[in-house]
Structure 1
Amino acid sequence: MILTPTGLRFHGRKLPCSIGKGGVKADKREGDGATPAGIHKIVGMYYRPDRIRALQDWATPIGNMDLWSDASGDQQYNLHVRRPYDKSHEVLRRSDPLYDLILVTDYNWPNAVAGKGSAIFIHQWRRPGWPTEGCIAFQRDHLRWIAERIEPGTRVIVPEAMSD
């Protein structure tokens, strides 16, 4: 997969997507809203079993207790955690559909550097063109199409200077 200014190229298709409101940055920082430049790998897939079926046998269901730590100074920073967790975090089981299907990248994972950014996922977008907080987001059917064709280790290339 390679990100371009007009979408993500994958398996001969170019799929429209949204990136972080801070653009693409090589020097990603927690909270800057940027999508990190680099070559990242898919290391996990989470899904809401009450809303969609597992698209791969290695996908993990999202339960009520599932969170993702974005607490920069914590030892669990940028890792999957479970309730109770009293530090800053993302709730994986959301009321909206954004995290019904999540592809986890290895950006700043698993040995995270404090402040370099967390929860860099590939997920469903709010609507076309609506920026993310640093993730890459797709319309629902395109995200599912990607998820059905990837495997752990699939590369996501995010160039600092993008070209088609």
Structure 2
Amino acid sequence: MRSWCVKQVKTDTYQLDAGALQFDCIIGKAGVIDASAKREGDMATPRCEMPIRAVYYRADRVQIPALPFPTFPITASCGWCDAPEHPAYNRHVDLALHAPFDASHEVMWRDDTAYDIVVELGFNDAPVIAGRGSAIFIHCIAPGKTHTAGCVALVHDDLLALLALASPDQHVIVT
């Protein structure tokens, strides 16, 4: 198993260490929290080890190289359920298939560039526990952003370079 490590390098400054390469990144506004204390909407990034599950991408904006895990184009109907009481909590949802999707959710087709590339991390998904946190991703840093809602974010080109290093058993450790 190969691991990339997200670590604090200075006050409010984080870096993703991928061995030979290091990338500046941003994390949740509330900082890092122990995974057992993670809760939906707390704006914290969980301290734990998470496998890469899949990559979603905006095919109209970016070309993704062949990767060792599933890849899916993001469409206007892609969403991610963040409603703890819903059966699809912490899962990708097809908003058109379930229209209207009345439960709380993120729309993955965004006007900004944050979700041009989205790496789904395996957090609170085996099994899903209601309210323990959802949609922990590695994604692009949107212009002007200095933190995320709990994800890890990198500059677009850095995220592409990182994915080029990925192995089928790739994990991300947040320390």
Say whether the fold is shared (TM-score over 0.5).
Answer: yes
Residue matched to 1:20: 28
1:21-36 map, 5 Å: 21-26=29-34, 27-36=37-46
Once the two structures are superposed, the pairs formed by residues 1-164 of structure 1 within 5 Å of their partners are 1-6=4-9, 7-26=15-34, 27-57=37-67, 58-83=70-95, 84=99, 85-127=101-143, 130-159=146-175
Stretch of structure 1 that moved more, 104-113 or 20-29 = 104-113
Gaps of 5+ in 2: 10-14
Secondary structure, aligned partner of 1:16: strand
Aligned partner of 1:100: which letter?
D
Q: Distance in 2 between matches of 1:133 and 1:22?
A: 8
Q: Conserved in 1, the CA contact under 8 Å of 2:112 and 2:142?
A: no
Query: Structure 1 regions of 5+ residues with no counterpart?
Result: 160-164
Shift of 1:111: 2.6
Q: Which has the higher strand share?
A: 2
Aligned-residue offset at 1:153: 3.1
TM-align CA RMSD: 1.5
TM-score by length of 2: 0.86
**What secondary structure, in the 3-state scheme, does the structure 1 residue paired with 2:16 have?**
strand
Task: Write the distance in 2 (CA, Å) between the matches of 1:99 and 1:135.
Answer: 11
How many angstroms does 1:53 deviate by?
1.1
Q: Report the count of equivalent residues.
A: 159
Q: Distance in 2 between matches of 1:13 and 1:127?
A: 23
State the AA in 1 paired with 2:27.
I
- Give the structure-1-normalised TM-score: 0.91
**% identical equivalent positions:** 37
